[in-house]
């Protein structure tokens, strides 16, 4: 007789939840962790694992890029600099060579927050683009 995966985990739910908060996870990784701790070779399907993770309030999303060099208060610093320079109606932007990401961001991860991908592989390219800080592109 197979038990409902949500009921089976009631005694361990708090421990799993705390462990899963530490990082982002793929469904397969969580499945392996749960199955390794259970006895008698209990096997969970990926559907059952997703159901457990959703019950924890976790999100399933693609990670996004974040530049590790960007300070936490970047927006405040920009606003202060623009105010000090007396710039309010002008459009400011950067024209720069851009790097293209070599690998596709297709892996979805489970996380209590929006997943964050800090490191990316880049290849050199000769693409130039404009990024407007305020205002709209011309």
Per-residue pLDDT band for 50 (boundaries 50, 70, 90) equals very high
Total domain count, the chain: 2
Q: Would 69 be classed as within a structural domain?
A: yes
Decide: 60 and 50 in contact? Cβ < 8 Å.
Answer: yes
pLDDT value for 28: 92
Residues 53, 94: one domain?
no
Interior CA angle at 76 toward 75 and 81, to 5°? 100
Domain that holds residue 31: 5-57
More confident residue, 51 or 94: 51
More confident residue, 69 or 1: 69
pTM over 0.95: no
Asked whether residue 3 carries a pLDDT value surpassing 80, the answer given is no
Residues 11, 32: one domain?
yes
**Alpha-carbon Rg of the chain, whole angstroms?**
22
Residues 53, 85: one domain?
no
pLDDT value for 1: 44
Query: Beta partners for 25?
Result: 110
Strand-strand pairing, 116-117 and 64-65: parallel
Q: Would 113 be classed as within a structural domain?
A: no
Render pLDDT for 73-122 as a digit per residue (tens, 0 to 9). 988 998 898 888 888 777 777 777 766 666 666 678 888 876 666 555 55
User: How many residues does the structure list for the chain?
Assistant: 138
Could you write out the DSSP letters of every residue in the chain? -PPPHHHHTTTTHHHHHHHHTTS-B-HHHHHHHHHHHSSTT----HHHHHHHHHHTT-EEE--EE--TTS-TTHHHHHHHHHHHHT-SSS--EEEEEEEEESS-----EEESS--EE----EEEEEEEEEEESSS---
């Amino acid at each position: 007789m197979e038990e409902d995966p949500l009921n089976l985990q009631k005694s361990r739910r708090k421990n799993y939840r705390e462990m899963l908060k530490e990082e982002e996870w793929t469904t397969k990784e969580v499945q392996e962790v749960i199955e390794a701790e259970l006895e008698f070779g209990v096997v969970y399907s990926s559907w059952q694992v997703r159901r457990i993770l959703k019950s924890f309030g976790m999100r399933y999303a693609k990670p996004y890029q974040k530049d590790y060099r960007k300070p936490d208060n970047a927006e405040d610093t920009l606003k202060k600099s623009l105010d000090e320079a007396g710039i309010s109606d002008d459009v400011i932007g950067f024209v720069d060579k851009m790097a293209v990401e070599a690998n596709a961001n297709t892996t979805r991860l489970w996380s209590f927050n929006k997943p964050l991908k800090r490191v990316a592989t880049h290849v050199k390219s000769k693409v130039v683009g404009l990024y407007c800080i305020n205002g709209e592109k011309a």
